[in-house]
C-alpha cells in the first residue's frame, strides 16, 4: 500500500497490479465522493495495458471521427485511406475531411520519405581541450566497435550515424539509429547505453572524462530544436499536391493569388515572431492521429514543425508540406492497445513493415489540414465555421 496525506486522514492506494488493484483504486477515489462512472466504463483487461500504464483505474473516452478518403500516391501508401481522428475539438474532422476532398478532386497527393533515424546524444566532459580532441579522434577510428555494441542489444535496429559536436571541453555524440517499424525510443536508449559502456571499457584514457551523461538534451527528445529540423529525428516526409483554380473556387471560395499572399505574409510573420515553422496547425491532425493510433503524444513537440512550400502555377497553386521530424511507429508501445490497434487496422498500418506507409499517410493528413485551414482564413469562413460546428452550447 502507498500512503498519501489526505485532508483529514491517511489515504491508501493499492499497489496490487491485478484486477483487484483496479477495484481498490476506484474505491479510493469514490470514497472521496467523486463520481467516476464514465471512467469505470469499458475498462481494458489489466493484461491488455501491462507495460503501457501503472496504477490503472479507468479509461479516457475520446470521440473518434472518420475523414476521407485521402488519396495518396506514395512509395509505401498508395490508394484511398479513411482516417480515424480522435479529438474533442469541433470542426477539426470536418476541416480535415474537406482538405482530403480537395486533394482527391485534384488527383491525389504525392508523398515521399527522404530520411529516417532515431537519435540519442550522450555528453562527455573532459579535463582539457586536448583530451576532448583526443576523444573525438578516437571516436572516428572506432565506429566498428560501436556498431558491434548495438548489435548485442537489438536485431531490429542498427547504428546509422555518429555525429560529433564539441563545445570546448564538452563533446556531444549524436548517435543515429535505424529502428525498423518502432518509434524506437527504448531501443535507442539501450543501444546508446551499450555503446557508452563499450567506450568506457575501451577508451584508453577514460580517466580524463570529468563527467558523462547518457542523455544530454542535445538529441532534443520531446523538445523542438533546429538540429532536428536539419538532421531529422524520426522520419522526414514531404507531401505535395497541385490544386486547380476551379477547385479552389468551388471548395475553398478563394484564389491562388490570395493563398500565395497568405503564404508570403504568414512566413514573414513566423520569422518575426520566432515561430518554429510557417505552417498553421499540423499539431491538430497529428494529435488526433497519434491518440487514435497509439503513438506517444509527447512526440508532438518534435513532430509538429511543418514547413510549407507554395508556388503559383499555370493551373492553380502547388502546395507542399514537409515534416522534418515525424516520430511514428506501428509496433510496440500504445499500438498494441485494442482501440489503437483497430484504428491502425483501418489504415492497414499495424505491425511489421508498415511504419513508412503510416508516415506517408500522416503527412497526407497534415497536408489536408493545412489546405483546409488556409482556405478558411483567406475566404474569411474560419470564425463562422467554429461558431456553427465548434461550440458546445450548454
- Active site amino acids: 89, 296, 386
Tell me the three state secondary structure of residue 292: helix
With CA atoms as reference, report the closest residue to 193 among 144, 146, 127: 146
The three-state DSSP-derived secondary structure of 98-134 is: HHHHHHHHCCCEEEEEEEEEEEECCEEEECCHHHHHH
Rounded Cα distance between 352 and 345, Å, is: 12
Question: In whole angstroms, what is the distance from residue 303 CA to residue 359 CA?
Answer: 11
**DSSP reduced 3-state for 183:** coil
Q: Check if the beta carbon of residue 124 is closer than 8 Å to that of residue 170.
A: yes
Cα within 13 Å of Cα(29), Cβ side = 15
Give the SS3 label for residue 244. Answer: strand
Amino acid at each position: 500500500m502507498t500512503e498519501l496525506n489526505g485532508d483529514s486522514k491517511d489515504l491508501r492506494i493499492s499497489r496490487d497490479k491485478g484486477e483487484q488493484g483496479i477495484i481498490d483504486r476506484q474505491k479510493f477515489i469514490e470514497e472521496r465522493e467523486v463520481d467516476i462512472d464514465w471512467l469505470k466504463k469499458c475498462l481494458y483487461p489489466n493484461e491488455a495495458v501491462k507495460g503501457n500504464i501503472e496504477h490503472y483505474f479507468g479509461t479516457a473516452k475520446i470521440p473518434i471521427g472518420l475523414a476521407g478518403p485521402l488519396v495518396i500516391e506514395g512509395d509505401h501508401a498508395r490508394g484511398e485511406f479513411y482516417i480515424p481522428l480522435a479529438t474533442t475539438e469541433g470542426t477539426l474532422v470536418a476541416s480535415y475531411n474537406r482538405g482530403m476532398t480537395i486533394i482527391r478532386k485534384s488527383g491525389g497527393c504525392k508523398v515521399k520519405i527522404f530520411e529516417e533515424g532515431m537519435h540519442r546524444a550522450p555528453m562527455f566532459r573532459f579535463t582539457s581541450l586536448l583530451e576532448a580532441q583526443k576523444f573525438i579522434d578516437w571516436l572516428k577510428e572506432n565506429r566498428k566497435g560501436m556498431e558491434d555494441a548495438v548489435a548485442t542489444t537489438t536485431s531490429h535496429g542498427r547504428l546509422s550515424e555518429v555525429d560529433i559536436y564539441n563545445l570546448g571541453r564538452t563533446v556531444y555524440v549524436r548517435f543515429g539509429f535505424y529502428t525498423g517499424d518502432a518509434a524506437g525510443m527504448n531501443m535507442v536508449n539501450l543501444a546508446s547505453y551499450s555503446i557508452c559502456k563499450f567506450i568506457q571499457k575501451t577508451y584508453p584514457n577514460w580517466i580524463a572524462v570529468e563527467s558523462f551523461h547518457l542523455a544530454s538534451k542535445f538529441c532534443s527528445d520531446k523538445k523542438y530544436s533546429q538540429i532536428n529540423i536539419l538532421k531529422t529525428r524520426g522520419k522526414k516526409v514531404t507531401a505535395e499536391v497541385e490544386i486547380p483554380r476551379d477547385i479552389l473556387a468551388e471548395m475553398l471560395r478563394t484564389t491562388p493569388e490570395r493563398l500565395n499572399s497568405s503564404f508570403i505574409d504568414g512566413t514573414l510573420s513566423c520569422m518575426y515572431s520566432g515561430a518554429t515553422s510557417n505552417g498553421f496547425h499540423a499539431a491538430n491532425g497529428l494529435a488526433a492521429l497519434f491518440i487514435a493510433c497509439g503513438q506517444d503524444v509527447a512526440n508532438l513537440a518534435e513532430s509538429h514543425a511543418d514547413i510549407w512550400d507554395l508556388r503559383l502555377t499555370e493551373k492553380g497553386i502547388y502546395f507542399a508540406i514537409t515534416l522534418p521530424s515525424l516520430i511514428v511507429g506501428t509496433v510496440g508501445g500504445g499500438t498494441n492497445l485494442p482501440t489503437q490497434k483497430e484504428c491502425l487496422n483501418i489504415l492497414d498500418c499495424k505491425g511489421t513493415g508498415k511504419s513508412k506507409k503510416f508516415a506517408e499517410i500522416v503527412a497526407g493528413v497534415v497536408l489536408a489540414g493545412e489546405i483546409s485551414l488556409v482556405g478558411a482564413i483567406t475566404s474569411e469562413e474560419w470564425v463562422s465555421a467554429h461558431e456553427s460546428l465548434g461550440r458546445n452550447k450548454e
